[in-house]
Amino acid sequence: MLKSITGWTITSIIFIAFIFLMIEVSAEVNEVKSLSDVINEHVNLEEIVLSNNSLIYDRNGDVISEVFRDENRVYLPYEEIPTIVIDAFIATEDQRFFEHKGYDAIGIGRAILANARHDSIEEGGSTLTQQLVRNLFLTHDQTYNRKMSELLYAYELEKNYTKEEIIELYINTVYFSNGVYGIEAASQFYFNKPSERLTVAEAAFLSAVPNNPSHYDPIRNSEQTKLRQHWVLQKMLEASYVTQEQYEEALDESVDLNISPKTDLHPDYVTYIHQEFTELVADNEGFNQKLAQASSEEARQEIERSLNERVQQLFKEGIHIETALDPFLQNLAIKSIHRQVPNSDVQASAVVLDHHSNEIVAITGGKEYQKFDFHRGYQNPRQPGSAIKPLLVYAPYIEEFDVPIQSTINADNVCYKVSGEDYCPKNYGGAQYGMVPLTTALKNSYNTPAVRILDRVGIETAFSYLDPFSFSHVNENDYNLSSALGGFSHGMTPLELTNAYTSFANDGTFHPAHGIRRVTDKDGNVLYAWEEEESRVWSKETNDKMRKLLSEVVKSGTARRAQVSAPYSGGKTGTTNNYHDLWFVGMTDQYTTGVWVGKDKRGSIAHLNDKGPHLQIWREIMR
């Protein structure tokens, strides 16, 4: 035993002398190159930035998603860190914290003697500042080189930061096991409450973990954690941070975990918000302009890589994304889809927009949707069938020729020469109806009148009315008469088509709908927000006529099963060839909602057509 103590003592004397020697030598060589300069060549001690959890909120201000990867951290400024937590760490890790300059020769000596006396590691010699630089800049390897670097870095850190700033950084960087960093995240994860509400017993319990996060893991080794907690409380009592009464009460208190896993609700909506946030950053920081000017595919990929890196960096900074999500409508849409489309091989998506605020209040990605999977709401362009007729055919026709809705159009068969070949569209079942009013033609979704109208308006003129909607998959290959019936090469996504229909709810003006209201930093300063955009698509007079036509579709046309008790309801159905897709997009006085039903790998769903799942889903969401 005497030999062990003697060895430890000699080692400590040599080690302490070496520390002082290094500090003195560094002062002597300032004229050549300062210690600060040498260290700053390797690390930046002047600007320390920690990752912080980002949060996504619904319209009610409730958190729906915590965004972090490897480090679950909720950063707390010094003034918000509970005093009892600071006291616990100082009492157990560095009692002379407010006196030393980054290293503590007395503390090192005391630790060596204590460890020699017990012939085991009972106390650590590292100060809080040393532990901080180890967590930030160094490895945890037990080598002399690493220990010397730790001492020198700590000395320099103390010259750049106040004690309060150092303890703030320390308590936000320490690891509490299970991917949790910092006291606030630890309190929320293990006890499901903010750290300001921790009891003395709970604060001591959590403060026990960082000493050896695996050994004192509160979930797997809670008994070991409690033993360490008792030691922490004893040290706090000895340092007069707690009274004898507080100490005894803390020992008697039962510490019960209330694990709160990562908040990750509404995966369909949150996945979309991640995509929209990327678009918002690209729009605000010039990435879109760079992409438009990219000279090659390689250049474009490099710009996209830079954009994604920028987005990930912002998420690490603890941003808050406020959205328009209506949890009730989101859940209702998902439940309705499951109820109306039970078939395992058939998918569906619904989009609900508040056309007064131009916000996306609900969007679904498909049945049994998992976060970041393929999203059928905004990533799945499909042919729209007859749902395109109001936008491409009837509204442009009324706008161009100012015809009354009582005017008639020929609903008999017709043929056109297209690229030297006959194009002869037919009505459903091959029926011919003669001259019919526009109201009848649209509400019953007759095909030949739509093709005749598109031909009369002119294909290029009609397609110009789609320009404000920015359909991302529509191109010049779609400029043909069959587009009057939804015959597009790719089509449009449910979100795109539903957003286009909001023009009928806004007197003929189009406003791009967004899910994000604003993005702020953790202090509430606005970083990003969409600028209000408005495009006049057609006149209010045309729009009033279209609303009447669309209301007839619901009252007595192909969408009768979508009727709801609302001051106004109107819309249009769409069915593609061979029943690959079923659509209904319509509006009430407050919402515009689109529903798509189909298979991922295109195939017939004729067996569902008579049940009208697209109409039933829409009705259940809107009633």
Three-class DSSP labels, 323-349: ECCCHHHHHHHHHHHHHHCCCCCCEEE
Q: What is the distance between the alpha carbons of residues 569 and 548, in angstroms, rounded to a whole number?
A: 10
Q: Is residue 565 annotated as part of the catalytic site, yes or no?
A: no
For the chain, counts of helices (H) and of strands (E): 24, 18
* Tokens at 503, concatenated: 């023009």
Q: Are strands 421-423 and 435-437 parallel, antiparallel or unpaired?
A: unpaired
**Which element (helix H / strand E) includes 444?**
none
> How many C-beta atoms lie closer than 10 Å to residue 557's C-beta?
22
* Tokens at 253, concatenated: 């208190």
Whole-angstrom CA distances from 538 to 388, 400, 454, 542 are 16, 9, 16, 6
**Which element (helix H / strand E) includes 172?**
helix 163-173
* Tokens at 131, concatenated: 């532990």
Do 513 and 502 form a contact (C-beta atoms < 8 A)?
A: yes
Q: What is the distance between the alpha carbons of residues 448 and 428, in angstroms, rounded to a whole number?
A: 10
φ, ψ of residue 351 to 5 degrees: the values are: -130, 130
**Which element (helix H / strand E) includes 190?**
helix 183-191
Whole-angstrom CA distances from 549 to 161, 445, 498 are 70, 11, 17
Q: What is the DSSP letter of 50?
A: -
Q: Is residue 483 annotated as part of the catalytic site, yes or no?
A: no
φ, ψ of residue 505 to 5 degrees: the values are: -95, -10
> How many C-beta atoms lie closer than 10 Å to residue 79's C-beta?
7
Strand ranges, E, within 339-442: 347-354, 359-363, 408-410, 416-418, 421-423, 435-437
From the candidates 386, 445, 551, 569, give the one annotated as an active-site residue. 386
Q: What is the distance between the alpha carbons of residues 214 and 211, in angstroms, rounded to a whole number?
A: 9
The type of residue at 489 is: S
Q: What is the DSSP letter of 131?
A: H
Do 619 and 563 form a contact (C-beta atoms < 8 A)?
A: yes
For residue 362, the cross-strand partners are: 352
The type of residue at 115 is: N
* Tokens at 493, concatenated: 């996504």
Do 455 and 428 form a contact (C-beta atoms < 8 A)?
A: no
Q: What is the distance between the alpha carbons of residues 537 and 534, in angstroms, rounded to a whole number?
A: 9
Do 570 and 550 form a contact (C-beta atoms < 8 A)?
A: yes
From the candidates 66, 93, 359, 399, give the one annotated as an active-site residue. 93
Q: What is the distance between the alpha carbons of residues 151 and 312, in angstroms, rounded to a whole number?
A: 33
DSSP for 558-599? TTGGG--SSS--EEEEEE-GGG-EEEEEEE-SSEEEEEEEE-
Q: Which residues are catalytic?
A: 93, 386
